[in-house]
Structure formats: C-alpha cells, structure tokens
Amino acid sequence: DTEVTQTPKHLVMGMTNKKSLKCEQHMGHRAMYWYKQKAKKPPELMFVYSYEKLSINESVPSRFSPECPNSSLLNLHLHALQPEDSALYLCASSQVVRGRAKNIQYFGAGTRLSVL
Amino acid sequence: ELKVEQNPLFLSMQEGKNYTIYCNYSTTSDRLYWYRQDPGKSLESLFVLLSNGAVKQEGRLMASLDTKARLSTLHITAAVHDLSATYFCAVPRGRGTSGSRLTFGEGTQLTVNP
C-alpha cells in the first residue's frame, strides 16, 4: 500500500477564514512533506517533517502553519490567506534512511484550494 | 542554487513514434527521480535513478542517468495515447537524512495523438 490520503479534495475559503488541510499515511514513513503547485507549474516544497519535528521551512509565510500530531498525520492550518495562495496543495511521505536508499516520495491526490 | 531544466516543455507526438525528454541539472547529485502527473491528479513515481549509468525500463518508458554530464533522459518507445501526461524530473538538494528536498523541472507536457 503506497497510499497517501488527503482531505478535503476541494476547499473554497474567504480571506478571513481559518481552515485546515489533512494528510494521512500508514506506510510507516517518518518524513512528510507539504508542496504547493500552481497550474501548469511544478510542485514547490513548503515544509518537511522528520520524526514529527519540523526540519525544513522553505520561507513560507506564517499564514500557513503546519502540524504533525503523530507519525501518520500531517496538517496544514490556513489563516488569512490571499487569492494568490489558490493552488493545489500536495502532501507526500517517504522513508528516512541513510546512504543510497531510494527515498521515493509518495504523493497524495492533493487539495485544490480556492481563496476568494 | 540548484536548477533543473527539462526540454522540451511541450511535446505532441503520434502514436507509434519514439521520442526523448531531457533533464539537465546544475549541481552534483547522485540520484534523480521521474514522476508522471495526469491532469488534476497526483504525482506518480516512475523511476528512481541512483547512480551514474543507471538505466531503468518500465513498459514503453526507459530512463537513464549520466551524473558526469548532469543529464537524465526519458525515452518513449512506440508511444500510445495512455502515455499522455506531464512528466517531471526531480533532483534532491543537500545530503541530509531528514527527508529529501526535491527540486522539480518545469515538466514536459506530452500529448500522444492517434
């Protein structure tokens, strides 16, 4: 099973709303990622969690707040977003191993977010 | 700063034809990933290339890696309509064990016409 599940699939929110995106995996992966993907563009890394601790923040604005409550779950809390934040938000997970491991990232189907 | 360039960005080809997508990257890396994305869908892992000279094949797709030239190719043999998708190459930045920071190429949007 290489499934990463994201909810909701679609989300429309106003600029004053607070909402959360959820991501779940049961592959035993200890690295989890959030990416943002605009239309016709490649995914851009936002955050990396390793062993439930934030290890990488790619200078993401504070209106995006990640959370990793346990090894299977990853959340992205959204507050006071701007219309330009509208995008597909992808979650991914991978093993954390040393050396020449494959370290493939497995992606969820994404949440398509529209900010009005 | 790591840059990953793919070309072509758009590729329209006829069924049964062969073609190659190229992925160049700017800094040393010992591995490279290829992903496929269908419209509105997630990214699907196609290949992981772990060493210089690595070659992987799956069906009508074959990927190779030349780490000295910093070049990977994705070769399509006798294309079929089902291969229509966007193909991304991705290169990890850094050597940390805390998870890979992937930098993706711009993607090659492939359309296979009957």
A96: pLDDT strictly greater than 90: no
Q: What is the pLDDT of residue B29?
A: 83
Cis peptide before B92 (omega within 30 of 0): no
Kindly list the residues from chain B whose CB atom is less than 8 angstroms away from the CB atom of residue A29: none
Residue corresponding to tokens 């990640």: A66
Residue numbers in A near B101 (CB within 8 A): 45, 48, 56, 58
pLDDT at A62 over 60: yes
Taking only residues 67 to 106 of chain B, the set having a beta carbon closer than 8 angstroms to any beta carbon of chain A reads 88, 92, 96-102, 104-106
Taking an 8 Å cut-off on Cβ atoms, the answer to whether A100 and B50 are in contact is: yes
pLDDT in tens, B60-98: 999 999 999 999 999 999 999 999 999 999 998 866 555
Which residues of A are less than 8 Å from B41 in CB distance?
Answer: 109
Contact A71/B at CB under 8 A: no
Q: What percent of chain A has pLDDT over 70?
A: 94
The dihedral over CA atoms of A64, B32, B11, B14, expressed in degrees to the nearest 10, equals -130
- pLDDT mean over B20-42: 92
- At residue A100, the pLDDT reads 54
User: Which pLDDT score, from 0 to 100, does residue A11 have?
Assistant: 96
Tokens of residue B72, six digits: 């990977």
Interface touch A104/B45, C-beta < 8 Å: yes
**Pairing mode, if any, of strands B108-113 and B10-14?**
parallel
Q: Report the distance separating Cα B5 and Cα B27, nearest Å.
A: 12
Residues 2-61 of B with CB under 8 A from A: 30-31, 33, 35, 40-45, 48, 50-51
pLDDT at B51: 84
pLDDT of residue A80: 93
Name the minimum distance, in Å, from the CA of A22 to any CA of chain B: 15
Query: Using the beta-carbon criterion (under 8 Å), do B99 and A106 form an inter-chain contact?
Result: no
Per-residue burial over B67-90, b if 16 or more Cβ lie within 10 Å, else e, is beebebbbebeebeeebbbbbbbb
Instruction: For chain B, say whether A49 makes contact (Cβ under 8 Å).
Output: yes
Q: What is the predicted pLDDT for the residue at A1?
A: 63
Q: How far is CA A84 from the centre of its chain?
A: 17
- Is residue A90 pLDDT above 80, yes or no? yes
Q: Which of A105, A111, A112, A114 to mutate to test the interface with B (most CBs of B within 10 A)?
A: A105
Position B14 confidence tier, pLDDT thresholds 50, 70, 90: very high
Q: How far apart are CA B92 and CA A72, in angstroms?
A: 23
Integer CA distances (angstroms), B52 to A29, B49, B63, B68, B114, in order: 27, 8, 12, 7, 36
| Residue B44 to residue A108: CA distance in whole angstroms | 9
The 10 Å Cβ neighbour count of residue A48 is 24
- Summarised one tens digit per residue, pLDDT across range A67-83 is 999 999 999 999 999 99
The overall average pLDDT reported for chain A is: 92
Quick one: tokens of A32? 């989890």
Q: Tell me the residue ranges of DSSP E strands in chain B.
A: 4-7, 10-14, 19-25, 32-37, 43-49, 55-58, 61-66, 71-76, 85-93, 101-104, 108-113
Return the pLDDT at B31: 87
With beta carbons less than 8 A apart as the criterion, state whether B61 and B79 touch: no
**Token pair recorded at residue B107:** 């993607």
- Is residue A101 over pLDDT 80? no
DSSP one-letter code for A85? G
* Per-residue confidence (pLDDT) for residue B96, from 0 to 100: 56
Report pLDDT digits (tens) over B92-112: 886 655 557 899 999 999 999
Position B2 scores a pLDDT of 87
The pLDDT value given to residue B101: 86
Q: Do B105 and A33 touch (CB under 8 A)?
A: no
